[in-house]
Amino acid sequence: MKTRFIFNPYSGHNRRRPWFAASIRDYISAHSLDAELVVTDAPGHATELARDAAQTGCEQVVAVGGDGTMNEVAQALLHTPAALALVPCGSGNGLALHLGLPLAPLRALALIAGGSGAGRIAALDTGAADGWPFFNAMGLGLDADVSHRFNSLAQRGLPGYARTAIAAVRNIRPERVCITSSNFRDELDVLLVAVANSDQYGNNARIAPGARVDDGMLDLVAVAPVGFFGAALLAARLFTGSFDESRHVRRLRGRSFVIDRVAPGLIHTDGETRTAGARVEVAVRPHSLRVLVPLSSRVATRPADPTSVRFALQLP
């Protein structure tokens, strides 16, 4: 199977193991894989490399990095015959954990090298927020503020994320939003609004317990203003699967949402932040991304919608 590995040297664990790219090349050689490894050198480069891989007939494109790298690679594979595979190397690895992918590098490489005997291809839903694709989750308010602060840290991981979240909670101000979907409209004061495709942010912190990436729906979670102690209790609920049972949390499911806020501000898509307008439109793209998952993954095996695979007709 023709494969391209896209290695981000700045992602999570990769910063601390510059030798890992050479190890992957050795693995490719030792297992006689029809594969190459390329290294990113700037934000957005992974998307260019993945797009070129799909255009030149790669059947599998591997993101070696965290959720940000996954997002960049997956953007280029939307509605194409090429499948996304992951060697999770980030600080959270939310989508990988949701899909049941191995986090140990050798096990992840074995899944990729093993073909149909080790894994299978599933068609996942994806989302778009203000036109930006996301595959795990997007958010605004406290959600985006924490991501913005976290991305500037030299040392990441769950402890760093916790410290960043505590600092953000102390300074965040609630904002008024109007949330509209096909059967719901309400104005709320919120600390954050998250729209999840999978069930979690990463590190098994489940923002939308029970959410699935293959049900054609997105899960919106809005959190009302709470004090510092209340925020700590909510944070604990992330790891017990009961976050949406709090009276401070409102959860909606739908195919699309419109979030109107007072002014433009930050949003994040899979942890990467950017400025968006006062109105943020979020929508699902059902079964639009092919992904390699373990045979044991809970994601249903479902072929991608053939009418959505535009790219296949452009391949030589």
Q: What pLDDT band is residue 162 in, cutting at 50, 70 and 90?
A: low
CA distance 14 to 90: 8
Query: 83 and 152: one domain?
Result: no
Q: Are strands 175-181 and 218-223 parallel, antiparallel or unpaired?
A: unpaired
- Nearest C-alpha neighbor of 109 from the set 10, 9, 1, 5: 5
- Domain of residue 19, CATH code: 3.40.50.10330
Residue-wise pLDDT tens digits, 201-220? 988 999 999 999 999 999 99
How far, in Å, CA of 107 to CA of 113, rounded?
10
The fraction of the chain above a pLDDT of 70, given in percent, is 86
137 and 18 within one domain:
no
Q: Are residues 137 and 279 in the same domain?
A: yes
In this structure, which amino acid lies at residue 223? V
Task: Name the residue range of residue 74's domain.
Answer: 3-126+287-314
Q: Residue 228 is part of a domain; what is its CATH number?
A: 2.60.200.40
- In this prediction, residues 119-135 reach a mean pLDDT of 96
pLDDT digits (tens, 9 = 90+) for 166-182: 666 666 788 999 999 99
The β-bridge relationship of strands 83-88 and 279-294 is: parallel
